[in-house]
Chains A and B, each alone.
Chain A
Amino acid sequence: MVRLSELALGEKGQISQIESSAIAPRLMELGFVPGEYVELKNKAPWGDPIEVSLLGYRLCLRRKDAEAVWVNTQ
């Protein structure tokens, strides 16, 4: 299990849990719920923010916000 922010470029994982954080409720509403698949698509210059895809759309978010999301890569 790794944090979403630690995925390699192009790596895909299944969301296992979301730690509580200020932004976590919002992330859940945007589809970051256990069982969904999420892929790291791209990183901005200087490595932050990151771009992920889930539920057929793409979202960018900052690394520190992405840390709340844990994913299984197997």
Chain B
Amino acid sequence: MGQYPVKIAHIALVGNPNSGKSTLFNALCGARQYIANYPGSTVEKKSGIFFCAGREILLSDLPGSYSLKAYSPEEGVTARTLLGKEADFLSIDLVLYLADVTTLKRSLYLYTQLAQLSYPTVLVLTMKDLAQKKGLRVQTDLLASRLGIPVLYVDLRDQEDLQRLKKEICHYVENPPPPARINFPPDIEKKLKSRGFHKQAVDFALFDEILGNQAAASLRYHIIEEKLRGVYLQERKESQSYSDKLDKIVTHPVWGLGVFALVMFFIFEAIYFWAKPLMELIEFTFGTFAHFAAAPLAKVPILHSLVIDGLIQGVGSVLVFVPQIVFLFFFLGLLEESGYLARAAFLMDKLLGWSGLNGKAFVPLLSSFACAIPGVLATRTIAEHRERVITILIAPLMSCSSRLPLYWVLISAFVEPFYGKFAAALAFVAIHALGPLVALPMAYLFSKSLFRKEGSSFLLELPDYRLPQWKNIYYKVKTAALKFITTAGSVILVFSLVIWFFSYFPKIKKEDALYQSWYMKTLKEMPEGLKESEKERFLAIKEKAFALEQSFLGRMGRAVEPLFAPLGFDWKISVAVLAAFPARELIISTLGILYQVGEDADEETALSLAEKLPRTKKEDGFAFNPAVAISLLVFFALSAQCMSTLAVVKKELISWRWPLFLFIYMTALAYVLAFLAYRLALYFLGN
């Protein structure tokens, strides 16, 4: 038997989107909330605990819905839960139905469906402050007697109202209100019964099918109208609300775009530049940590390499994304809470609509220019599964900040010296434009081929502008950051260790003939007149390159060289490209080792690489020429070289199918376009 002498009381929050459910949920449960996914779905399951005079109450915040005839995965979860069909869901003792009082008629539509399920229900009318501003008065007692259930009227932003509400809720936990009920006219009831509609096993699709969609909706709205007669008084004529005034500019076809550009620029700036010092701080911390760990480990080279290059590097490469995720989710929360996010989607819908996406895809795509991980996480604001998947599939094509170092090296090596600063800037813009130019046609292809459903639609409520609720934003940011660290983090760490293994083993022993002959050859190459310390450094750099060349990774690089030859890559570039599959930034340090300029992914390495690459002569019949640089740029811009992104996609879409598809299509796309770019560059630039 259960642990509790009495079954724990379970309350469900039900209501339309924007009805204030999250605010109430956060106010009641605070930090005692748990976010998971509904089994087999990507929908967030929010539950929490609060106390009524010492008694523990379980509160579930069901996803906001307009109808129990579910149209989106979120609505599906709410409908299944209320119909008792959701697995592992504790039976509901009390429903708190939240309704935005400023659009009460529409808000009660879902209530007329809920009322067919006979849960003990309390109706909570929210947005009292807005209603007062709009000159609305509500006779709650009259409404309560008409509906036969308790009706409360609150402003969820008001602490006193919240306290009063909590007291009332606790009262109704101990003294359950009567179940919500709805009566249809006798002729309708008769018709429903004759066509096999059961009141005990309600099927809303069947309900609408029997009556006809329009008649069913009209019937429900007619019943609501009767219940609301005399309840809802417009005391004075509504003056133009501040939302309307703001929208004159914010959603204006011309000014609106200007405001939009400013807002997006600001957010992009924040993710791109403001997060940078924090990211550097994290890198510095891990660098220092590695430095201190190095000394005691120096005696055991393999442990040294495992801890420094594998573990610390791996954990660091997970945590370094956290500042960007926090910044992005803070601003996303701000936009969502204030009501602007819906406006941004409204403005952008046409621009993205032709490709099968909708306006809400804009923010995730923009965020992906900083980093695809927060971008993929941000697609949670897209309710339609199909559009969310397509947005996730194209988000990593946007050029993220970890591609920048290689762009910088190649452009300063091959563009700036020959064509000047202006051309270099142009090249930066061009390589950043490549992503969206390729992504939208890909989205179009995906929406036509991967999903069978015809056409997409875009229905979005524009809520009134409101001051953001900091508490709601705080929990959103916290959830996103923790989810990233715990779930994506473990996968990234594993792959970091795998790539470390491949680049470390097999180790060539000093007694080995291969090592001996390399050592003799290198000694001969050593320039004359070096000091002892310089000799040591020269040997160390050469040895690191030799070890990498002999490792599994190096051998794989040589093995795949023929595969990359059509793109103009030699074995060194092939190794670097392979090494960068877990994380793009690794390409710089690997090239640094192979071109023997240094071993760290720091500015010095990048600088020396930029100087060294154009000077590679036709050693082994290969020269790093501008055509190769262009080919590598295109490949690097489009390929899926980021294990973190793939791990996050897996977590978000709970299937390995999508990240696998993402990886294959992006790599293929990168290969084909890099090949074309290489051939074109050879034709126009020559060797």
The interface residues of chain B, by DSSP majority, are classed as helix
> Which A residues touch B555, using CB under 8 A?
none
- For the complex, what is the distance from the CA of A34 to the CA of B253, rounded to whole Å? 30
Cβ-defined partner of A44 (8 Å) among B69, B102, B346, B461: B346
> 1/0 per position for A17-36, CB-CB distance to B under 8 A?
01010111111111101111
> 1/0 per position for A40-53, CB-CB distance to B under 8 A?
01111111110100
Task: Kindly specify which of B293-301, B450-458, B534-542 makes contact with the partner chain.
Answer: B450-458
Task: Kindly specify which of B164-172, B185-193, B211-219, B425-433 makes contact with the partner chain.
Answer: B211-219
Task: Kindly specify which of B53-61, B104-112, B616-624 makes contact with the partner chain.
Answer: B104-112
> Which B residues touch A46, using CB under 8 A?
253, 350-351
Residue contact B347 to A44, C-beta cutoff 8 Å: yes
In the assembled complex, A60 has its CB within 8 A of some CB on chain B: yes
User: How many of B's residues come within 8 Å of A, CB to CB?
Assistant: 40
- For the complex, what is the distance from the CA of A29 to the CA of B109, rounded to whole Å? 7
> Which A residues touch B104, using CB under 8 A?
56
- Shortest distance from the beta carbon of A40 to any chain B beta carbon, whole Å: 13
Residue contact A31 to B213, C-beta cutoff 8 Å: no
> Which B residues touch A1, using CB under 8 A?
none
> Which B residues touch A44, using CB under 8 A?
251, 253, 256, 346-347, 349-350
Residue contact B462 to A58, C-beta cutoff 8 Å: yes
Residue contact B221 to A31, C-beta cutoff 8 Å: yes
In the assembled complex, B459 has its CB within 8 A of some CB on chain A: yes
Of listed A33, A48, A56, residue having the most chain B CB within 10 A: A56
> Which B residues touch A58, using CB under 8 A?
461-462
> Which B residues touch A43, using CB under 8 A?
253
Chain A residue nearest to B131 in the complex (CB): A56
In the assembled complex, B447 has its CB within 8 A of some CB on chain A: no
Q: How many interface residues does chain A have, given as a range?
A: 35 or more
Q: Contacts A28-B214, A45-B254, A48-B349 known; A55 to B462 CB distance under 8 Å?
A: no
In the assembled complex, B84 has its CB within 8 A of some CB on chain A: no
- Shortest distance from the beta carbon of B114 to any chain A beta carbon, whole Å: 14
Residue contact A31 to B462, C-beta cutoff 8 Å: no
State which residues 347-367 of B face A: CB under 8 Å: 347, 349-351, 353, 359
- For the complex, what is the distance from the CA of A30 to the CA of B254, rounded to whole Å? 29
In the assembled complex, B644 has its CB within 8 A of some CB on chain A: no
- For the complex, what is the distance from the CA of A29 to the CA of B220, rounded to whole Å? 9
- Shortest distance from the beta carbon of A56 to any chain B beta carbon, whole Å: 4
> 1/0 per position for B249-265, CB-CB distance to A under 8 A?
00101101100000000
> Which A residues touch B461, using CB under 8 A?
57-59
> 1/0 per position for B645-677, CB-CB distance to A under 8 A?
000000000000000000000000000000000
In the assembled complex, B247 has its CB within 8 A of some CB on chain A: yes
- For the complex, what is the distance from the CA of A25 to the CA of B353, rounded to whole Å? 22
> Which B residues touch A29, using CB under 8 A?
66-67, 69, 109, 217
In the assembled complex, A67 has its CB within 8 A of some CB on chain B: no
Residue contact B257 to A31, C-beta cutoff 8 Å: no
> Which A residues touch B256, using CB under 8 A?
44-45
Residue contact B251 to A28, C-beta cutoff 8 Å: no
Residue contact B459 to A23, C-beta cutoff 8 Å: yes
In the assembled complex, B208 has its CB within 8 A of some CB on chain A: yes
Q: Contacts A29-B66, A55-B103 known; A45 to B462 CB distance under 8 Å?
A: no
In the assembled complex, B184 has its CB within 8 A of some CB on chain A: no
13 sample A-B contacts, Cβ–Cβ < 8 Å, listed by A number: A23-B459, A26-B66, A28-B214, A30-B106, A31-B221, A42-B247, A48-B349, A55-B106, A56-B104, A57-B102, A60-B458, A62-B458, A65-B459
3 pairs of A and B residues whose beta carbons are closest in the complex: A28-B217, A57-B103, A56-B103
Residues of B within 8 A of A (CB): 66-67, 69, 71, 100, 102-106, 109, 208, 213-214, 216-218, 221, 247, 251, 253-254, 256-257, 342, 346-347, 349-351, 353, 359, 454-455, 457-462
Residues of A within 8 A of B (CB): 18, 20, 22-31, 33-36, 41-49, 51, 55-62, 65
